Amino acid sequence: MASGNNNGDQEILRLRDELLSLASQLSARYACRKLTEKTVVNLLMEHVCERCIVEKLRLGVRDEDKVDRAWRNLHGYAVELLIERLKNKLLEAGFHVSIASEAENPTGYYDVLLKVDRTGIQILNGSKSICLEAKTGFNISFLQLEKYLWNGSTIILVRFATSDVWTFRLSEWATFLKTVLNDRIEKARRIIAGRVVPVQGQDCKECPLESCKFRKSRAVKEDKLGKNNGFTEALEGFKRNADAAIEAALSAVLVELNRAATQMRETDKDRCHLNAPQLGALDVSPGQSL
């Protein structure tokens, strides 16, 4: 089981690790050596029909990766541009910079992970983390955002096609995440106990359980490379807005770095105040000064 490696909300980290532990139990129960606990967590999150989840676990079925390589290449290019600008601008601002691309975390991989401590920005060191997620298309996976928030990182979502940038802070989502994680944990426990709840809906289109009365015949899969799927539109948006998106992302990063620096100063001030000697406890002789 992956343990918490970021200093986020301790209750959320505990719930996250409990969900990962239950996912590991499910993988072991169904002898799914091909499915890691991360993959099982994805199944639990992406499917509402628990009967469908069980069948996929039994067969060791991964959800098919439907991403065209052209999208992957554009995404990689966007991340590379973002890293290069980050290095230049943060060094100019006087930060000691260390940046890791595709840094692993307990529930996935970040695009760029900046770990913040008192000496600047270091990878896998310090108490604060900022995660930049680059999106080159028009789709946003809120399940992915949820998983990354579990780890305690501040997430800066950069949408290259539109130059939109949003910041997600754990402190602003903590109460919501605890409720959602408890729901997901209860779902995993129910599946382990064999009390699955079937749900008719979107899962029926790709369900491998042929005996289920809700199952729908699979549609003929389209040739991914033969369809545009909005790539031209996204590419045009990238051409127009990539530079503005990078600059907006940098501004958001600097805001978070300044927030972190302020919090560190306040923490140090409070610590110094607590450790300061109390004047009433000192024996000061006449004529002496402090």
Angstrom distances, CA of residue 257 to CA of 36, 106, 260 = 34, 24, 5
Tally DSSP H helices, then E strands, for the chain.
Answer: 7, 8
**Which position has the token pair 């719930």?**
15
What are the φ and ψ backbone dihedral angles of 164, each rounded to 5 degrees? -75, 140
Single-letter amino acid code for the residue at 268: D
The pTM is what? 0.79
| pLDDT tens digits in sequence order for the chain, 290 residues long | 334 444 568 999 999 999 999 999 998 888 666 788 888 999 999 999 999 999 888 888 766 666 678 888 998 899 889 888 988 888 888 777 677 777 777 888 777 777 654 544 433 334 568 888 889 988 888 999 999 899 888 899 999 999 999 999 999 999 999 999 999 999 999 999 999 998 888 888 778 887 887 776 544 444 444 456 688 998 999 999 999 999 999 999 888 888 877 877 777 776 666 665 544 433 333 333 32
Strand-pair partners of 158: 134, 165
Report how far residue 184's alpha carbon sits from residue 207's, in angstroms, rounded to the nearest whole number. Answer: 20
